[in-house]
Amino acid sequence: MPRKLLKRWMPDHEKIKSHPHLNRLFGKLLHEPNLLHLNRRSVSGAFFVGLFMAFVPLPSQMIFAAAVAIVIRVNLPISVGLVWITNPITIPPMFYFAYKVGAWVLNTPISENNFELSWEWLATELAAIWEPFLLGCFICALVAGSLGALGIRLVWRLHVIRQWEARKKRRLPVRLS
């Protein structure tokens, strides 16, 4: 686990607790130690929150990820950092895939229109595809978040088992034949 490396980059908890805007908004919730700790529950929960929020089609995903991380008491920087998998390069394929998933679940035909960067195109096309798009985003968010959280728990568990085995080998007395 890159735990020591991540700990070096974590912000100071006192700095976060004393931030005036965050303190006014979240108050005593900022005093939760899991917001910056690296333990299995906090990190796996942060993966769920961050990957879930990455599929939320809103421009303020980081703010929502931070708010949810603070409320459910999981690692704040990891939650916010994972939202960055959606960027101008990855958003179109991710959201198109989500739309296709939603269309498949609802059994509706996939609209194959040429993309045009205008408000008029967005208003007309979004009005036609909003149901499969939002359903697909929700399904992809649940699957990505769940797989991320389960994957982290599995990797964490395997790492702990390897550490136990290494410790056990170090403690065994050396037998001379």
Q: Give the C-alpha separation, 43 to 124, whole Å.
A: 40
Q: Give the C-alpha separation, 105 to 94, whole Å.
A: 17
Q: Give the C-alpha separation, 144 to 110, whole Å.
A: 22
Cβ atoms of 50 and 62 closer than 8 Å = no
pLDDT (0 to 100) of residue 112:
74
Give the predicted TM-score (pTM) of the model. Answer: 0.78
Positions in the chain short of pLDDT 70: 1-31, 113-118, 173-177
> Directed axis angle between helix 40-54 and helix 61-72, to 10°?
150
Q: Give the C-alpha separation, 105 to 12, whole Å.
A: 45
pLDDT (0 to 100) of residue 68:
93
